[in-house]
Homo-oligomer: A and B are copies of this chain.
């Protein structure tokens, strides 16, 4: 059969299923009919039903298990997706002019806390890069970053005066695994100075660890401007 106006598409099925859950017709924890039966009901193939249910499961509405069937999740595990933009894009999306400035870039022995954090050997060296990201002339983010030299030997020749370490790394080393955290920290003297804040001001802070095939590549702390909020809708 050709897909004409009256054909049920996987989108229609998704909508119908969601509507039935919302209306209470399909209660939380209850089992849905199996794919074959739904295919008959919607007069389409099982393939189409499968796609609809698979996506709803991805989106956190359903739970599916072979042989056990598909059930409505009682507490819809809705996942918030935060897009992690690069600072430049974030500033430009705010309608601002992005400006970058290098503060310092030094090769040094990895400090103890970093060795612990990244599972480095005590004598490994890192490139310590500090830099600022501005929105026009307003400080937007202060970045404190360490790059493991053994993992990215080219870093010793990188010119971080002209390109930010994040953009450089993205061009240079692909990464495979990332751990990203957000927390509230307190502006110490240096952070306060760079972001033009009072000392002890609460600062929204991100920490990112990046690995390439199990090798630690970089650790960075990002201190955001006062009043910054990370927002998403779903």
A234 near B: Cβ within 8 Å? Answer: yes
Query: Given A22-B174, A202-B203, A234-B180, are A79 and B84 also a contact pair (CB < 8 Å)?
Result: yes
What 1/0 flags go to A112-124 for Cβ under 8 Å of B?
Answer: 0000000000000
A81 near B: Cβ within 8 Å? Answer: yes
Distance in Å from the Cβ of A75 to the closest Cβ of chain B? Answer: 5
Query: Given A200-B200, A205-B184, are A178 and B86 also a contact pair (CB < 8 Å)?
Result: no
Contact between chains at A80 and B82 (CB < 8 Å): yes
A232 near B: Cβ within 8 Å? Answer: yes
A154 near B: Cβ within 8 Å? Answer: no
CB nearest neighbor in B for A232? B180
- Residues of A in contact (CB 8 Å), total 49
Chain B residues with Cβ below 8 Å from A81 are: 79-82
Contact between chains at A80 and B84 (CB < 8 Å): yes
Chain A residues 67-85 with CB under 8 Å of chain B are 75-85
Contact between chains at A181 and B230 (CB < 8 Å): yes
A183 near B: Cβ within 8 Å? Answer: yes
Listed in ascending order, the chain A residues whose CB lies under 8 Å from chain B are 18, 21-24, 28, 60, 75-86, 89, 170, 174-186, 200-205, 207, 227-234
Besides A22-B174, A24-B174, A202-B202, 4 more A-B contacts (Cβ < 8 Å) are A76-B175, A81-B81, A181-B232, A207-B229
Give 10 A-B contacts (CB < 8 Å), ordered by A residue.
A75-B85, A78-B84, A79-B82, A80-B180, A82-B82, A181-B231, A183-B184, A183-B227, A184-B185, A207-B229
